[in-house]
Amino acid sequence: MVHHQFAALGDPTRLAIVERLARGPTSAGDLAAPTTLSLPAVLKHVRVLEEAGLVTTVKRGRVRECRLRDDALVAVATWTAQQQALWSTRLDALGTLLEDT
């Protein structure tokens, strides 16, 4: 169900969160700090990313640590590669067809 991941990454705020998290884990508060959004808003986004299987969070004391899942983007990467492969082989087939005629 890769479209969940795409949908999650489709929001600019969430995309930024993932980019941030790719540099290393942080607290929810630190994710909110650079933005103009409220903490609750950011936390909602984090939840969406969690449900899409892109992010995991743990609560340590009163702070919630967010980290990118190791396997976060493999589904996206493989889907993309697959479609590109399909499309390019089709283009190749068309190319050789044109050569032959």
Partner DNA sequence: CTGATGGTGAACCATATGGTTTACTGTTCC
Partner DNA sequence: GGAACAGTAAACCATATGGTTCACCATCAG
Binding site for a copy of itself (CB under 8 A): 2-4, 6-12, 15, 18-19, 21-24, 68, 70, 72-73, 76-77, 80-81, 83-84, 86-87, 90-91
Query: Binder to DNA among 6, 13, 56, 73 (CB under 7 A)?
Result: 13
Closer CB to DNA, residue 21 or residue 28? 28
Partnered with residue 42 across adjacent β-strands are none
> Which ranges in 1-73 belong to alpha helices (H)?
2-9, 12-22, 28-32, 39-51
Q: How far apart are CA 91 and CA 86, in angstroms?
A: 9
For 67, the token pair is 């980290």
CA dihedral 84→22→27→11, nearest 10 degrees, is -30
2 binds DNA, rule: CB under 7 A: no
Nearer residue to a copy of itself within complex by CB, 6 or 37: 6
Q: Which residues bind DNA (CB under 7 A)?
A: 7, 10-11, 13, 27-29, 32, 36-41, 43-45, 48, 59-64
